[in-house]
Structure 1
Amino acid sequence: MSMHAYLLFVAASVVLVLVPGPDMAYMLTRAVAQGRRAGSMAALGINVGAYVHLAAAIAGISALLLASATAFAILKWAGAAYLCYLGVRALMSRGALTDLTGSEVRGRSLRAIFWQGFWSDVLNPKVAIFYVALLPQFIDPQAGNPTLQLVLLGVTGNMIAIGINLVLVAGAARLTGKLRRNGRIALWLQRAMGVLFIALGARLAAQKA
């Protein structure tokens, strides 16, 4: 792989990370509603989920999955159902997910957010398409060892993504910190988060391969 091709991939990755999608919406919504720790854990969960897609793409599993309309549909509906489930949980909760002092979530709640971010990414078939469709475009067959090239590109893309996402989370959390200290506003932020998750689930379900 030439340096020119690698730098072109870096530039493409930056642009793609900044394009709004379900993962970014989930991450930023957590940051706005619950603070920097929650948003950061969501970003980490999403990033770890991306490595699952990378491993699947390298192993050829994603290509096989995308070749089957039935398998793609199952994955899509599972992801949509999971996002809707998170949204309904947020809407049905009687109290705000943050307390009235404005302190951020921690412990078990943070672990739950991490795994929700992880499964949100793993169950998103569009991420699988990204790895299967984009990465091979930057592979140089003459350079040898295409698997190593895929790993390099995948890890590079994921490192770029986590860096940008953590910066976005920090900015979103800082801008909305005062809002979360108001109990009533915090509750409405939570409800807005629930509505957004349901909308994202419906959008994912409506998308075509």
Structure 2
Amino acid sequence: MSTAAFLAVALLHLMAAISPGPAVLMSARTGVIHGFRAGLALAIGIGLGGVIWAAAALFGLALLFEIAPNLLIALKILGGLWLLRMGVKMWRSADAPLDLDAGTACAPRFFQAMRTGLWVQLANPKPAIMFSAIFVGTVPQGASWVVFAMLLTVVFLNETLWNAFVARVFALPLARRSYMTVRTAIDRAFGGILCALGIKIAST
């Protein structure tokens, strides 16, 4: 695999990771409510989920979806329903009293937050199709395991570092104070967007 092709894959995936979606949304909310440590754990889980989808694409999951399209439909429905559930929960809790200091102190444990990030990423099977489209024509047939390992490392770093950055920005004192002034509206907007994404994933 040429250096130019490798860099192209890395850049294309970085653009996909940066684009707004459930992962970025949850990173922002986790950072602002629970602080950077929980946001970092969430970002690591998101990175691991990205690696799982990328590895599946490298080993032919897109071809399996073509052979058994009902499998993709089932995964979309399950993932969409999970995101929809999270969005409804976020919407309903928008009016509940919130103490950010208590939120930080009662933040989910590291592995609990990481698991949430993993599920957020796995709830959307579309990355497997996206990765397949990126890898076709850039990853040569018969590429060595070293190439695969490097690609998966880039996917992990792109997903983890970007979402950790988002969590860090929203965990800053100014961002947290600003959030508290319009918290109900933001949480309802976040919940609504998450519900819309869940419906979109399940129905397309």
TM-score (norm 2): 0.81
Aligned residues: 202
Cα offset for 1:129?
0.9
CA shift in 2, pair 1:194/1:105, >3 Å: farther
Residue 119 of structure 1 aligns to a residue whose secondary structure is helix
Cα offset for 1:130?
2.0
Residue 124 of structure 1 aligns to a residue whose secondary structure is coil
Aligned amino acid, residue 149 of structure 1? V
User: CA offsets per residue over residues 88-133 of structure 1, 9 Å max, x none?
Assistant: 222334734x525365255546544332221121121211112222
Q: Which runs of 4+ in 1 moved over 6 A?
A: none
Aligned amino acid, residue 96 of structure 2? G
Partner of 1:179: 178
CA shift in 2, pair 1:167/1:189, >3 Å: same
Partner of 1:166: 164
User: CA offsets per residue over residues 27-82 of structure 1, 9 Å max, x none?
Assistant: 22333444333332322221111122233234433431344221111111111100
User: CA offsets per residue over residues 112-158 of structure 1, 9 Å max, x none?
Assistant: 433222112112121111222212332134xx534442332122122
For residues 19-38 of structure 1, the aligned pairs below 5 Å read 19-38=19-38
Aligned amino acid, residue 95 of structure 1? A
Check whether the contact 2:46–2:159 (CA below 8 A) recurs between aligned residues. Answer: no
Structure 1, gaps ≥5 residues long: none
Residue 20 of structure 1 aligns to a residue whose secondary structure is coil
Q: Distance in 2 between matches of 1:16 and 1:41?
A: 20
Identity of aligned residues (%): 25
Partner of 2:65: 65
Which structure exhibits the higher relative contact order, with contacts defined as CA atoms closer than 8 Å and separated by 6 or more residues? 2
Residue 99 of structure 2 aligns to a residue whose secondary structure is coil
Q: Is 1:196 aligned with 2:193?
A: yes
